[in-house]
Amino acid sequence: MSKEDQLVLARTIYGEARGESFLGKLAVGHVVLNRAQKKNKTITDICLQHSSKGTYQFTCWDPRDPNYEKIKDLQAGAGNEVFDQCFRAAAYAINQVTMDPTHGSTHYCTTDITPFWAVEDGKDITPAAIIGHHKFYNNIRW
């Protein structure tokens, strides 16, 4: 993994989970890594990927999203303690310092919604983990 991958992953974690515990940040990092591994792509490719609907897989990278302005220029060691924690979580995930708390999940959403992709045959799919304000899924067909 490149330094650029770590920086993009840390920015993604910040944009998606900056209010979560370290475990919650780490979990989002693992989702990106799990997707990258399954799709044989880089972390940067996954974080900046568009969906089939033309939106971003991670909305914080959409220039129209308010988080984009907050993440696009973040650098580690520049005085933002929360981003520094996201940068550490990215390093931990990349270097597999800890086990994957999502159990191989490739998708997540906030706990207050159930997106269309988390419903099968009219029933909610059971998340593999719930960490903080996110539900993590390792059984989504995509």
**How do residues 76-121 score in pLDDT, each as one tens digit?**
999 999 999 999 999 999 999 999 999 999 999 999 999 999 999 9
Could you tell me the CA-to-CA distances from 129 to 6, 40, 107, 120 in Å, in that order? 24, 24, 11, 18
The CATH number corresponding to 3-103 among 1.10.10.2520, 3.30.110.60, 3.40.50.920, 3.40.720.10 equals 1.10.10.2520
The structural domains of the chain, with segments of one domain joined by +, span 3-103
At residue 48, the pLDDT reads 94
**How do residues 36-66 score in pLDDT, each as one tens digit?**
999 999 999 999 998 777 778 899 999 999 9
